[in-house]
A and B are shown apart, each in its own frame.
Chain A
């Protein structure tokens, strides 16, 4: 469903947000995409969803080439961005109908599909409201509705439950699981919540400094001992990324290092910058990795 090779994005000015991503996601999988703030998650997501053009590498998404056939990719995927896409003032139902029609559906088909999608997500009664009148959890379900209304075979979710209360999170997880079970939907989701990754994902991909540093099932990454948080911190270190970046604005992040799936096997190649604080376990490092809302 997703196959990338050496996918990279260097922004103007030389910031290498993503250095080289090799990914394979099979149809029907739920894959969790993890990494500290600034690791390149959102940039990768935006490349995979055709919003950013990669500067190197190739990718086939849902059977279409990302670079040569972005239209083909767009038709087959759904995307829920970090901040969502519910406007504040127009009735959400109207917006979803436009959204559906932009996928080529006729008026009647779009209405039917919208009604079905809203019903499934328990949103029917709210369709007449403007986005500004919805709660965070309701808005997030509408975001999901936008991503699903055209029945994509692959859904990208960028931090879908950030800022939601536990009820809304559990509810959203339930919907995601059900979509996979009933429709065979493939889901690629990024998250900072490792419990979310643990319960929802079949397989995890951890990236750091713009490259994949570990990959496997939650159990494999945990290695039988400790929590996923421990494993994550062992893989990516404990330094606070924003602080490191603030100290050296625009400086490229560390070199790609380590073999995928081999946590911590890379200390020898790691440049000093951004790693000097690492092993001492800087206070607050854990919170930053696990709980903070991602930067954009």
Chain B
């Protein structure tokens, strides 16, 4: 028993501090992924049942709503393409490089880790779909998290709201740079080290700044909810609401920089 405890202690220390055991962990994860599917089956089945019993009128309404949304999005996308082209021309004029094109891969969340103190989910794409550690994950609202480990056909994604996670951001309006740290609650991020006299107000949009090289530039991260300036403090207390639906999204996109 003592031997097993010592072995466990050593393993935990090695696994917690280094990446030596990553291959073993990856192989084991591939082995247990069917369990995730079984555990998730009530929800997957629920979705199937909903689709099975949907009415004609309901489907028509859905299609109409989606078509309106599509027209709206096409218009935005058209404008966006124009802006990207213009931006690239201006960057060329200034002599800086063009921004890298991004490719995305749609993934479905197949499990949520059971420990409520940790915000991690498992998605159904892995090494086989060239998903690798460090890639950013977004949903339709904004930045969702990053891949922290990938196995053959599944990957674990750390959410931006986890207490151990932080993402470099800047305020879209004033270009103020900061770091948005997770708080362990799905609807709150805290901005770190914002000087008390900074130009930041509730309602400001935070986007990923691309500094640090992990997250691509320009994905919405959150909206500033409150700014508390205590004259006795050096830093303001800034809280933001994540743009992504961290506890509701079912489908997410894995962002792969460099392949469009």
Q: Do A and B come from one complex?
A: no
Q: Which A residues fall within an 8 A CB radius of B?
A: none
